[in-house]
Amino acid sequence: MSKKAFLTKEKAEEIAAQIPTPFHVYDEKGIRENAKAVKEAFSWNKGFKEYFAVKATPNPYLIKILNEYGCGTDCSSMAELMLSQAIGITGEDIMFSSNDTPAEEFRYADELGAIINLDDFTHIEFLEKTIGHIPETISCRFNPGGVYQISNGIMDNPGDAKYGMTRDQIVEAYKILAQKGAKNFGIHAFLVSNTVTNDYYPALAKTLFELVVEIQKETGCHFKFINLSGGVGIPYEPTQTANDIYAIGEGVHKVYDEILVPAGMGDVAIYTEMGRFMMGPYGALVTRAIHEKHTYKEYVGVDACATNLMRPAMYGSYHHITVLGKEDAPCDKLYDVTGSLCENNDKFAIDRKLPEIEKGDLLFIHDTGAHGYAMGYNYNGRLKSAEVLLHEDGSFDMIRRAETPKDYFATFDCFDILKDMNYNVPKN
Ligand SMILES: *Cc1c(COP(=O)(O)O)cnc(C)c1O
């Protein structure tokens, strides 16, 4: 399978004339079609709700689009709660799935009426002390331990993960929460990340459904929802096949009918907290080639760096690259595509076969719509880029401006040392 850019060279140049590269660009049409498909795929479940994982793409304009399709927000920090509140997503439309949570964040989540998802057994007492009560609706995060493997070999290692409660702890947690006045219960688990298979959610659903039926018998607790969390992946590599959200929805439906319905639990809502699947393919980093270097290898230097997209440097992740305007040219050159950080891992591609790149070419780095802009950092004094929304009719809007030196130095503003600072970037 080939991967196609959602932007032509002409459109990219048109944007770059107004908003200098590098920038992240988002495809509104793709976001909308996918959000609609997710909603349809789970429409068999009356209470279904997707809580978009804000950390993946914390841009209010993009989250508002998802909200039109019924999506809430999954938050795990003060700033994410504030963002959600600012765009009018409050109450039970917020899932507060945090861990190692500071008291003030529990307090604010409770003020907003968010559903609180407890990461640990000890957080029951901490929460009660902090907010003075236990909410009527409450969720607990489960960690089955060991190694979690799906039939096709995809696996992860929950036993090594810091999240969630053991089976014994979670049963005890529900009993205590019920004694303290909770009435509606939820369960949450996130066991494998970026699963490019239609089997993950159905397998996880089976694990959680069976567990919930047992817990319901043991404790008498009424389960309102089962939260399958995130982890539904996208095909970063052109050889991978994209997940089919309709097949995933039907897979969950099947185990729901097999396990929950016969147990008299056919009223349980299915929640999800997808980030990557909702946004990943619909964002890209557009960057310009500014240097070429021939030493022991062939290098193309671009004007973006790990500040704009950290996944390759941090995880060695593959991100497909299209050289705009050279979509049909043969990929007969071998390049390392590098950013400017004084870090040898600041490379968007290593030994990648690409068409011959000339200085000035625009590179479209695919699949940066989730965990892309958001993960950036300011190492080396590098500044974060703008974000642009491409509308269906080809028009576009800047939905976040690029950082300026003033933003970088803003945290010194209460000190005298930089009082004579000139924030204007020298022009050549
Ligand atoms: C990161 C995260 C998500 C989203 O994960 P994706 O891989 O982007 O789907 C959902 N829930 C929680 C609690 C998370 O930490």
pLDDT above 70 for 406: yes
Residue nearest to atom 13 of ligand 1 (CA): 97
Compute the half-sphere exposure of residue 52: CA atoms within 13 Å on the CB side of its CA. Answer: 33
Residue 237 has φ and ψ, to the nearest 5°, of: -95, 140
Does ligand 1 have an atom closer than 6 angstroms to the CB of 231?
A: yes
Ligand 1 atom nearest to CA at 98: 13
Cβ neighbours around 420 below 10 Å, total? 6
- Give pLDDT, residue 186: 98
Mean pLDDT of the chain, nearest integer: 96
Ligand 1 centre distance from Cα of residue 201 (Å): 13
- Give pLDDT, residue 428: 66
Residue 286 has φ and ψ, to the nearest 5°, of: -105, 125
Residue nearest to atom 10 of ligand 1 (CA): 230
> How distant, in Å, are the alpha carbons of 221, 284, 334 from that of 370?
36, 10, 27
Element (H, E) at 36: helix 28-41
Ligand 1 atom nearest to CA at 188: 13
- Give pLDDT, residue 145: 93
Looking at residue 217, its amino acid is: K
Does ligand 1 have an atom closer than 6 angstroms to the CB of 289?
A: no
Candidates 140, 221, 331, 342; catalytic one: 342
Domain boundaries, the chain: 28-278, 281-419
Query: Tokens 């479940």, residue?
Result: 45
Query: Tokens 């694990």, residue?
Result: 207
285 vs 418, which has greater pLDDT? 285
Residue 75 is among the residues annotated as catalytic for this protein: no
The percent of residues above 70 in pLDDT, for the chain, comes to 100
Beta strands in 1-80 (DSSP E): 23-27, 49-53, 72-75
Question: 358-401 pLDDT, tens per residue?
Answer: 999 999 999 999 999 999 999 999 999 999 999 999 999 999 99
Average pLDDT over residues 416-422: 84
28-278 belongs to which CATH class?
alpha beta
Q: 325: burial class by Cβ within 10 Å (0-12, 13-18, 19+)?
A: middle
Give the CA dihedral 83, 398, 377, 53, nearest 10 degrees. Answer: 40
Q: Which residues of 399-418 are buried (b: 16+ CB within 10 A; e: fewer)?
A: bbebbeeeeeeeeeeeeeee
Ligand 1 atom nearest to CA at 280: 8
Question: 6-33 pLDDT, tens per residue?
Answer: 999 999 999 999 999 999 999 999 999 9
- Give pLDDT, residue 416: 84
Q: How sure is the predictor about 331, in pLDDT bands with cuts at 50, 70 and 90?
A: very high
Strand pairing category for 23-27 and 386-390: parallel
- Give pLDDT, residue 197: 95
Q: How sure is the predictor about 1, in pLDDT bands with cuts at 50, 70 and 90?
A: low
Residues 65, 35 contacting (CB under 8 angstroms): yes
Superfamily in which the 281-419 domain is placed by CATH: Lyase, Ornithine Decarboxylase; Chain A, domain 1 (2.40.37.10)
Q: Is the pTM of this model over 0.95?
A: yes
pLDDT above 90 for 422: no
Question: 117-129 pLDDT, tens per residue?
Answer: 999 999 999 999 9
- Give pLDDT, residue 426: 81
Classify the C-alpha dihedral 29-368-74-258 as positive or negative.
positive
- Give pLDDT, residue 152: 74
pLDDT above 80 for 148: yes
Question: 26-77 pLDDT, tens per residue?
Answer: 999 999 999 999 999 999 999 999 999 999 999 999 999 999 999 999 999 9
Alpha-carbon span 119 to 100, nearest angstrom: 8
Residue to mutate, 34, 38, 50, 55, ligand 1, most ligand atoms under 8 Å from C-beta: 55
- Give pLDDT, residue 424: 86
Q: How sure is the predictor about 154, in pLDDT bands with cuts at 50, 70 and 90?
A: confident
Element (H, E) at 131: helix 123-131
pLDDT above 80 for 277: yes
Name the token pair of 251. Answer: 């897979």
The percent of residues above 90 in pLDDT, for the chain, comes to 92
Alpha-carbon span 365 to 349, nearest angstrom: 10
Question: 358-367 pLDDT, tens per residue?
Answer: 999 999 999 9
